[in-house]
Structure 1
């Protein structure tokens, strides 16, 4: 196997010395086996206090991907996502978050002409802990552990073969402050995914916990001048263990996100409030 568990930890260690707190970036999800894929999201990020320690991020997103026999990243629908996450930076370098997510993902036949076979729905809850290191004035390092619970249904909310999954994600990301003009930044990251699943098929059973994917990403981020919007443009390579795509360098993603940043606004009080 091209990327065994030992190689995953080696790559994570290397990136750990290089990874960071990118406030707006929305990383692509896994879209399954393909050659190329496209991911785009529109998010609304709101500060809940004047210090920016508490925030929420809500986004809606779509993904498209190629068929196994071509490189057209817009060839077919891959996923629809609704996500809401709450963040709390409880110290200057530590942060936790928790989220709810809904995903609707078409499944396609494995043989040509790769027609759509069915629809899978997913409800996901997850929690995340992150620690950020200030390496210098321009470099920041962020290491993250994220634990997910994923529950799956078909289009009519009936059971599917894979009942639910517990997944652990370990990520390191490096951010370089490219220029203060428009808050331009560059970021690279490495993320390893490990999981165990419970299945409904035949006799109900669990598979073994193990490494499933490695995701390598690079992003360029900037603020649109004189606006509350941030743009992220990125690339991700998804190396899926045991997939067809891993023999061709993985699934190559291109991503573009737009984030609307809403500052904290203190609630005004009226005279009656003061009298009370």
Structure 2
């Protein structure tokens, strides 16, 4: 059954590569090898112009994850994220955005009892381009290409094994307008990640560019009645190439975010 579902999402991804702008959920980041994980975020989305073509989304988020030998998704602290992104719908069906992000992620030993070993900091800048197809009255297909630059430090801002990374992400998301009541939607997505890194250790060198992960997700989205808040609740399966978790179906995420929508106000 799970294999059939994964094949369906892989097919969705390939369909998307031949071609939305949705008020997207705050998708979980990769939290490394684990059995299960939790991702929760609170964001503030502001309309920047009267036409609704420009928006800014700022959010703070946390991640938790299990140890390799248990399934408690709240077992260990996994990440803290601060993110700010600006979107511009510059033409019909087309949108670009740019962002800056800070992430703080504990690193754990690979053997029991999996104690905390160190802390890694990441500064990230990225840009993305998205194109949306309207597939009838209720369906939308959004395809996104995102390019990232990631720079890594330890807790004291010293160099770590990986110096910096260029990463390319290609994502397709199919959205169904479930009901106009509370603006309910269902979204299915698949995202492939490719990267190349410059390493500090054992010697300064470049890794090979290649495929690293596939992230498959399903979300339910709705607006809280009589409020400016939207809620997104979902599941993500992170299939990490050559990881221990991929042998038991990937890392399984429970994800939720709350977004406060602020309309445009003329100054």
The aligned residue for residue 133 of structure 1 is 133
1:272 alignment counterpart:
none
Confirm whether residue 12 of structure 1 aligns to residue 8 of structure 2.
no
How far 1:203 sits from its partner (Å)?
A: 2.0
Q: In structure 1, what is the equivalent of residue 174 of structure 2?
A: 174
Partner of 2:74: 74
DSSP 3-state at the match of 2:13: helix
Deviations 1:184-219 (A, max 9, x none): 000000000000000001320001000000000000
Give the 3-state SS of the residue equivalent to 2:14 in structure 1.
helix
* Alignment partner, residue 190 of structure 1: 190
1:10 shift after superposition:
5.4
Q: Looking at CA atoms only, which structure, 1 or 2, has the larger radius of gyration?
A: 1
1:258 aligns with 2:258: yes
Q: How many residues align?
A: 261
- SS of 2:26's equivalent in the other structure is coil
Task: Provide the rounded CA distance (Å) in 1 between the counterparts of 2:147 and 2:95.
Answer: 14
Indicate the RMSD between aligned Cα atoms, in angstroms.
1.7
What whole-Å deviation, never above 9, does each CA across 1:90-120 have from its counterpart, x for those lacking one? 0120000000000000000000000000000
Superposition deviation, residue 14 in structure 1: 4.1
Q: What is the rounded CA distance, in whole Å, between the counterparts of 2:160 and 2:80 in structure 1?
A: 19
Q: Residues of 1 paired with 2:264 and 2:171: CA distance?
A: 29
User: Is 1:142–1:174's contact at 8 Å kept on the other side of the alignment?
Assistant: yes
Equivalent-residue separation in structure 1 for 2:172 and 2:17 (angstroms): 6
Deviation for aligned residue 1:20:
4.4
Cα distance in 2 for partners of 1:219, 1:40 equals 14
- Residue in 2 that maps onto 1:217: 217
Distance apart, 1:51 and its partner CA: 1.2
**Structure-2 separation of matches of 1:143 and 1:207:** 28
Q: How big is each residue's C-alpha offset from its partner over 1:114-145, in whole Å with a ceiling of 9 and x where there is no partner?
A: 00000000000000000001111100010000
Aligned 1:44-123 pairs, distance under 5 A = 44-123=44-123
| 1:13, distance to aligned residue in structure 2 (A) | 1.1
1:39 aligns with 2:39: yes
| 1:143-185 deviation digits (Å, cap 9, x = unpaired) | 0000000000000000000000000000000000000000000
SS at match of 2:101: strand
Shift of 1:11: 5.5
Partner of residue 271, structure 1? none
C-alpha separation in 2, matches of 1:92 and 1:40: 32
CA shift at 1:21, angstroms? 3.2
Quote the offset at 1:24 in angstroms: 4.0
Greater mean deviation of Cα atoms: 80-89 or 194-203: 194-203
Give 5+ residue unaligned stretches, structure 1: 268-276
Q: Which TM-score applies when normalising by structure 2?
A: 0.95
